[in-house]
């Protein structure tokens, strides 16, 4: 079991390496093809819509056909994505290259493996280590993508990323079991609810059933409200790096590598210790409160040096928030449904990436970079106060 989890971590590192190599390629390729901020927003929105549609399908596919089939599908889709991107010499091809993203869900796929192979009590810590892998991949991919695109061009860098995705597919087939769920638990859950685990890959009734579980709807609402401002900033970061910080492709790659280094330290030395000492609700409050302070700091920053300081609490809040919310949601459902639940979590991110480019482009053109920070501060502060009041109310009810 531990060997499978270690291989899953390696698969995630390679997947994120390829993904962040693409992040260092696409903005500059789009700029060379004549994209402005608005059109780049349309491109990002296209990716968001595609992954929004694919997330629940991918999760349900994993629950029905196993983690190996799901991760193989994700890796092959990534390879096709990068191959088309490498051949993109015009605007239509650049948009077409985004179509395989419908099944590019490497992170949720690896989360499914780790969730299936760990006990609920150790799940937050195990999922937290995925952030460490994410950080390693971010450093490698950002540096690799920026360096290769600067020296050899965007197409060469995209083909290297495609080769990495094909290597990933081979590792999945070789080392990941066809099914990672505990069969006894799955069969027991199915006996209690015959509708569970049955039906087509795309099933609205399954999604509706999961959303009716206690606390699930509230947690998804929290993910959307708190996540929207940060995703707006993330999808606009390449534009901010070029126009506000005046960075070149290679410099942007180094900055993203710094993000990855900070995330590695936080995930490796902070998240695991905190999840072992404090309750999930307390850590959720901490992450949202920190995000509010980060938003204010983003609004006040004026140069890349100040931003590098802001990155530290920003990465802490993001890492903690994602680990805690995903842990709470996977514990809310039976083991046979964790894949679908993680697919829905992925779809929340895709939904935010769908609307964020339009929002981000409007805010950037009309109010500047500082508007992103003020909105993040306001959204998270209101959410923090709501959750704090909710906690007090539950405490009073328990005492009564």
Q: Which domains does the chain have, with CATH numbers?
A: 2-178+206-399 (1.20.1250.20)
Query: What does the pLDDT look like over 112-151, one tens digit per residue?
Result: 888 888 777 777 777 777 877 887 887 888 778 878 877 8
Taking 50 as the pLDDT cut, the residues of the chain under it are 183-198, 395-396, 398-400
User: CA-based angle 139:318:75, to the nearest 5?
Assistant: 50
User: Which pTM value belongs to this model?
Assistant: 0.71
What is the full DSSP assignment across 240-300? HHHHTS---HHHHHHHHHHHHHHHHHHIIIIIHHHHHHS-HHHHHHHHHHHHHHHHHHHHH
| Model pLDDT, residue 64 | 83
Q: What is the largest CA-CA distance in the chain?
A: 69
pLDDT of residue 344: 82
Distance CA 77, CA 42 (A): 21
Q: Strand ranges (DSSP E) for 169-259?
A: none
Q: Give the per-residue pLDDT at 290.
A: 96
**195-238 per-position pLDDT tens digit:** 444 455 556 677 778 788 888 888 999 999 999 999 898 888 87
pLDDT of residue 37: 67
Q: How high is the pLDDT of residue 226?
A: 93
The pLDDT value given to residue 273: 82
Q: What is the pLDDT of residue 30?
A: 80
Find how far residue 392's CA is from the centre of its chain.
31
Give the residue among 232, 203, 212, 221 at the shortest CA–CA distance from 343: 203
What pLDDT does 200 receive?
52
- In whole angstroms, give the CA distance from residue 74 to residue 15: 9
Q: Around Cβ 250, how many Cβ atoms within 10 Å?
A: 18
């Amino acid at each position: 079991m531990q060997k499978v989890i270690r291989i899953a971590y390696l698969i995630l590192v390679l997947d994120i390496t390829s993904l962040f190599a693409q992040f260092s390629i696409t903005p500059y390729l789009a700029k060379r093809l004549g994209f402005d901020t608005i059109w780049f927003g349309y491109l990002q929105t296209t990716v968001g819509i595609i992954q929004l549609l694919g997330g629940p399908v991918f999760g349900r596919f994993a629950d029905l056909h196993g983690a190996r089939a799901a991760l193989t599908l994700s890796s092959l889709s990534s390879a096709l994505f990068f191959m088309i991107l490498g051949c993109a010499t015009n605007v239509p091809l650049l948009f077409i290259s985004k179509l395989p993203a419908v099944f590019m869900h490497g992170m949720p796929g690896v989360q499914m493996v780790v969730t299936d192979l760990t006990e609920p009590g150790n799940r937050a810590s195990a999922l937290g280590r995925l952030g460490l892998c994410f950080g390693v991949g971010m450093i490698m991919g950002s540096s690799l993508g920026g360096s290769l695109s600067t020296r050899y061009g965007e197409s060469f860098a995209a083909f290297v990323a495609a080769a990495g995705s094909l290597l990933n597919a081979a590792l999945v087939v070789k080392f990941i079991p066809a099914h990672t769920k505990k069969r006894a638990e799955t069969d027991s859950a199915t006996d209690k609810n015959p509708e569970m685990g049955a039906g087509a890959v795309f099933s609205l009734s399954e999604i509706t059933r999961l959303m009716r579980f206690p606390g699930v709807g509230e947690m998804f609402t929290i993910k959307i409200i708190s996540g929207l401002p940060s995703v707006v900033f993330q999808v606009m970061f390449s534009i901010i790096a070029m126009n506000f910080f005046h960075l070149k492709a290679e410099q942007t790659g180094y900055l993203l590598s710094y993000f990855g280094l900070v995330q590695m330290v936080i995930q490796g030395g902070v998240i695991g210790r905190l999840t072992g000492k404090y309750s999930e609700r307390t850590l959720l409050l901490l992450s949202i409160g920190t995000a509010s302070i980060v938003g204010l700091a983003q609004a006040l920053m004026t140069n890349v040096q100040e931003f590098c300081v802001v990155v530290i609490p920003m990465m802490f809040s993001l890492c903690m928030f994602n680990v805690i919310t995903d842990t709470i949601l996977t514990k809310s459902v039976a083991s046979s449904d964790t894949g679908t639940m993680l697919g829905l979590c992925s779809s929340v991110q895709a939904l935010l990436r769908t609307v964020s480019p339009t929002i981000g482009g409007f805010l950037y053109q009309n109010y500047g970079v500082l508007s992103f920070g003020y909105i993040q501060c306001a959204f998270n502060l209101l959410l923090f106060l709501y959750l704090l009041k909710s906690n007090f109310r539950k405490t009073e009810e328990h005492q009564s």
